[in-house]
Structure 1
């Protein structure tokens, strides 16, 4: 079962991936496949293995505040849905990401590979709430991203 959680633009503006570390000052990459974060502390390389490469590129771009890399992770005709707002096409997604995604903290709690994508459960700081990122991937790029509250 895929869960969708949307992060509102104002809170998504400060996202930085800190992976599964026990504190925000100990950055890790993606959590392991459907594994609780607490079991993957300090796992920076193999933890990312559960997500498809396009999802990893997106998450790494957010962590690195690299807007160009984030936009490049998407197809030209991709769609990003942030709660009830929809952004169509790479240029619109880039504008949204520049205003609302790059920066901040995101702690990956679970990574669940799916046929044709990856679903991530994350804790968003500031705010401390959980959200689900559902990535649909086609031909090595993100074709759809849905963000919703958990």
Structure 2
């Protein structure tokens, strides 16, 4: 499924992850944005970079989108995750704040 229909910051984050581009991934987030990975929170670009280097883009993550849904300012992307880390289906709930991501919550 293409990312064209996603809100711009979500599309930028997903495309950056699939392209292995950590700087572009971080640029999609607000300065005080956060990633919540099954309850573990990483807030701010430095913390998100550390998490991503160890568990996301650093593991050559791929996100093959299988569905999307929106509820207010939250967009949830369902994807088949690949790479050298976690592999399998997962949901990514993005809270969009203007032109940036305030929170990406990995929920399962």
TM-score, L = length of structure 1 = 0.63
Aligned mate of 1:119, from 76, 88, 97: 76
- For the pair shown, the structure with the greater C-alpha radius of gyration is 1
Matched residue SS, 1:78: strand
Aligned residues: 104
- 1:23-102 equivalent positions in 2, closer than 5 A: 29-30=2-3, 48-49=4-5, 51-102=6-57
The aligned residue for residue 144 of structure 1 is: 103
The aligned residue for residue 90 of structure 2 is: 131
TM-score, L = length of structure 2 = 0.86
Aligned-residue RMSD, C-alpha: 1.6
Q: Which has the higher contact order (CA 8 A, sep 6+)?
A: 1
Q: Does the C-alpha gap of structure 1 residues 104 and 80 become closer, same or farther in structure 2, counting only changes over 3 Å?
A: closer
- Note the residue ranges of structure 1 that are not aligned, 5 or more in a row: 1-19, 21-28, 31-47
1: CA distance between counterparts of 2:61 and 2:51?
15
- Note the residue ranges of structure 2 that are not aligned, 5 or more in a row: none
2: CA distance between counterparts of 1:139 and 1:148?
23
Q: Does the C-alpha gap of structure 1 residues 94 and 128 become closer, same or farther in structure 2, counting only changes over 3 Å?
A: closer
The ranges of structure 1 where at least 4 consecutive aligned residues each deviate by more than 4 angstroms after the TM superposition are: none
